[in-house]
A and B are shown apart, each in its own frame.
Chain A
Amino acid sequence: MSAATRDAAVVAERTQLVAGTRVVDVRGLGRAFAGRSVLQGIDLQVNAGEIVALIGRSGSGKSTLLRILAGLDAEFTGGVEVNGRVAVAFQDARLLPWRRVRENVALGLRNDDRNAVAEKELREVGLGDHLRSWPLTLSGGEAQRVSLARALVRDPNLMLLDEPFGALDALTRLEMHELVLALWKRRRPAILLVTHDVDEALALADRVVLLADGRIAHQERVVLDRPRQRENHDLVEKRIRLLTELGVHEKGAVL
């Protein structure tokens, strides 16, 4: 089966699933560290193929929520259900410095053609020339793309992205947005994207969830085609509302 037909098959399968399947179902979730409550009463559902952006001030519990969904933290209260294959990309690209780029992407894969699959994925994120590079020789954007390839190669139903573009300059960030959208269009995984950046959230997400004081304080649904115009009237309004909820009042400011 060619790569294109495989992708098409995956998209078809996911599109059928979209009719209601929940990839994430969180009910009444709470988490406390040493008695200090960080998350409480969180209800969050993510449908198959949906892009949800999670924004909130620093320390609002975004990473904590993501770690619980990734299965890295089991000390929570309430109900958490995650269906299907999950892949995670961290803010730091978190590559093994002593494994070459291709081996980093193939890490943990069990199939015989793991290296070929990893190579194909790296070509898709535009790193076909770096298969044999050492991670520490990559630029920040390149390292993040490797991290993205490592997540994608697992063909996830759910991608958990914890500020994967936080450390990148504005231009590289925009490039990464395009890349993520292109990959998403082809494979349609659900994406839960943590970000500080309201503009990033509005550019990418179907739904923006705002976390404050350990609760979901506000949600915005965005039903515009991508790529989106930042000046779109609807988006400008949503941006102002979100910034106000975050406690920032300057028009158009970025956190």
Chain B
Amino acid sequence: MSALEQEGVSVTSVRPGRQEALGVEIPTRKRRPVSLPLRRPGRRFRRLISPLVVLILWQLTHTFKLISELKLPPPSELTTTGWNLIAHPIPAYGSLQGALVISTQRFAVGFFFGAVVALILATAAGLSRVGEAAIDPLVQGLRTIPLFGLIPVFLVMFGIGDLPKILIVALAASVPLYLNTYAGIRSIDGKLFELGRVLGLARGELLRNVVIPGALPQALVGLRQSLGAAWLALVVAEQINANSGLGFMIIQAATFLRNDIIFVVLLVYTILGLITDWIVRRMERRALAWRPDLVAQ
């Protein structure tokens, strides 16, 4: 199931017919039942209820002394811990914002290179038989290698600096993006390439008008997957060998049995993940505006 479908947007039912897409009844034509994912104002907030309940229950574990706050610190304590990490950092951990900047940089650089390489390879493999024969087996092989098994290898090869972490992030980001973009290009209706020939489109025009927009829906699904994979890879890579960054903070906190700090850092990772996810969603809404289920809204 694609990310779009998870949001209740049907991906496969792209069919013509404006009236049908609008759900308007017209007597002269066969009418199909249409269910539209209408965005009512209450919907957003309804989705917030269950997380809030969990948060309240979590706080109650503290109020009724059910679990030691050393093991599961309540949300109220996490705000204090978070604030202290920002305002009064101590040398053992460093400041939260400092760690955030370092980790974000590693993520951004790694993700950027991974994504660029993935897009280039996917385009080459998707558009030419030679490219496919040369590239696809390599990437398919690469994807079967357990990524985190490579961390010690990279440690030996590149030491404990930024490079091995960036490489792990790049690898994690590139595989899903490559696979989805490649599949997206291959899924483009061959008739549209034929149309391009009939209209005498040049290579660049074909790329801009057929290949990129045609592969985009699937590529965006890949982008989301690769963002998730890249964040995960960063967390793991930073915990195994680092002397700075969010992952390093977690390792230090574990040494001093400070679960509250670990929770705060995990929260920061979560927020970062949500932000990147939100960005992709915005991109999806813009780039896929032509779909009838979205047009109708």
Contact = CB atoms under 8 A, between A and B. Distances in A.
Interface of A: 70-72, 87-88, 90, 92, 94, 96-99, 107-108, 133-140, 143, 150, 154
The listed residue with most A CB atoms (<10 A of its CB), out of B198, B205, B291, is: B198
Contacts of B256: none
A107 B209 contact: yes
The listed residue with most A CB atoms (<10 A of its CB), out of B199, B201, B205, is: B199
Interface stretch (B17-25, B82-90, B179-187): B17-25
Q: Which secondary structure dominates where chain B touches chain A?
A: helix
A139 B18 contact: yes
A88 B290 CA distance: 24
Contacts of A137: 16, 18, 21, 292, 295
B193 to A, nearest CB: 10
A139 B14 contact: no
B213 A88 contact: no
A99 B209 contact: yes
B5 interface: no
Interface of B: 14-19, 21, 191-192, 194-201, 205, 209-210, 213-214, 216, 289-292, 295
A108 B204 CA distance: 11
A88 B198 contact: yes
Contacts of A133: 18
Contacts of B292: 134, 136-137
Given A70-B198, A108-B205, A140 B213 contact: no
5 contacts: A71-B197, A87-B198, A98-B290, A108-B199, A139-B19
A96 B210 contact: yes
The listed residue with most B CB atoms (<10 A of its CB), out of A70, A99, A107, A154, is: A107
B92 to A, nearest CB: 53
A96 B14 contact: no
Contacts of A88: 198
A92 B199 contact: no
Contact of B192 (A70, A87, A94): A94
Contacts of B18: 133, 137-139
A136 B199 contact: no
B16 A138 contact: yes
B194 A72 contact: yes
Contacts of A139: 16-19
Given A94-B192, A107-B205, A137-B16, 18 more contacts: A70-B198, A72-B197, A90-B191, A90-B195, A94-B195, A96-B210, A97-B290, A99-B213, A99-B290, A108-B199, A108-B200, A108-B201, A134-B292, A134-B295, A136-B291, A136-B295, A139-B16, A139-B17
